[in-house]
Amino acid sequence: MTRVVGWALSLLCGVGRVIVVGVGRRLRPRLGVVSVRELVVLGTASQVPTRARSHNAYLLRWDGEGILFDPGEGAQRQLTLAGIAAADITRICVTHFHGDHALGLPGVVQRLSLEEVSEPRRGQRVAFVMDTRLCPAVSELADGVDLLVIESTFLSPESGLAAESGHLTAAQAARVAADCGVRTLVLTHFSRRYDDPDAFHAEASATYDGNLIIASDLIRVPVPPR
């Protein structure tokens, strides 16, 4: 039985549950598999998909594992566009059951046979933080991780709206990353009200001076080596 991954998972403050399922066919890493640890960004939109952004969905490739996070609507098609086969998915993690994080589940699940979950071990670490206000759990998850994928639904001028709706701004996400010593920061889950990714870069880079990536659909981000 494999014990491959060393990742942290996201929580929705207060009420969050992370659902993790293993997928049967590939619980054992294949012999001779090339060691690849990278994030494949499948979708980056928050509640409503746009012309340029599909609903959330992320595949973390981790050696022989393919861990699918929060498959929103359209995840199957995005997997195809990214060149990822259903058989490459070995686990699915869902942070919560809002549509933009889970509507893609039925389509993906019908193609897979689900089995048990194994425990992660320590190593390089990746954290996902979705749909939350700032809370202690965010910093706990992000503390010292190699790669942080975090929602920044809004920019600071809309910080009131962010607080009201239970989301983060780019500045808040960047502050978390800076304080927690995150090595690579991936911002995602953008409101459709924005169409300029550079505005997110400008706001976040004022606080965080590490490797900052404003996610767009179908990009790939390597997990930084230790």
Binding site for Zn ion (CB under 5 A): 100, 131
Query: Which residue number, 65 or 131, has a Cβ lying nearer to Zn ion?
Result: 131
Please report, as a single letter, which amino acid is at residue 114.
L
Query: Which residue number, 131 or 217, has a Cβ lying nearer to Zn ion?
Result: 131
Question: How far separated are the first and last CA of the chain, in Å rounded?
Answer: 25
Residue 191: partners with Cβ closer than 8 Å, 6 or more residues away: 46, 47, 153, 154, 158
Beta carbon of residue 46, minimum distance to Zn ion (angstroms, whole number): 5
- Verify whether residue 179 is a known catalytic residue: no
Strand order of the β-sheet with 65-69 is 114-115, 19-23, 91-94, 65-69, 57-62, 37-43, 220-222
Closest CA to 32 of 1, 66, 63, 68: 63
Phi first, then psi, for residue 10 (nearest 5°) are -85, 160
Beta carbon of residue 96, minimum distance to Zn ion (angstroms, whole number): 8
Closest CA to 196 of 214, 179, 209: 214
Alpha-carbon gap, residue 166 to 162, rounded angstroms: 6
Beta carbon of residue 145, minimum distance to Zn ion (angstroms, whole number): 20
2 with 118: CB under 8 angstroms?
A: yes
Please report, as a single letter, which amino acid is at residue 148.
L
Query: Which residue number, 88 or 100, has a Cβ lying nearer to Zn ion?
Result: 100
Beta carbon of residue 168, minimum distance to Zn ion (angstroms, whole number): 11
Query: Which residue number, 100 or 146, has a Cβ lying nearer to Zn ion?
Result: 100
Q: What is the DSSP string of 77-88?
A: HHHHHTT--GGG
Q: Which is the catalytic residue, given 100, 131, 146, 217?
A: 100
168 with 179: CB under 8 angstroms?
A: no
Beta carbon of residue 187, minimum distance to Zn ion (angstroms, whole number): 14
Q: What is the CA radius of gyration of the chain?
A: 16
Query: Which residue number, 4 or 103, has a Cβ lying nearer to Zn ion?
Result: 103
Catalytic residue numbers, as ranges: 100
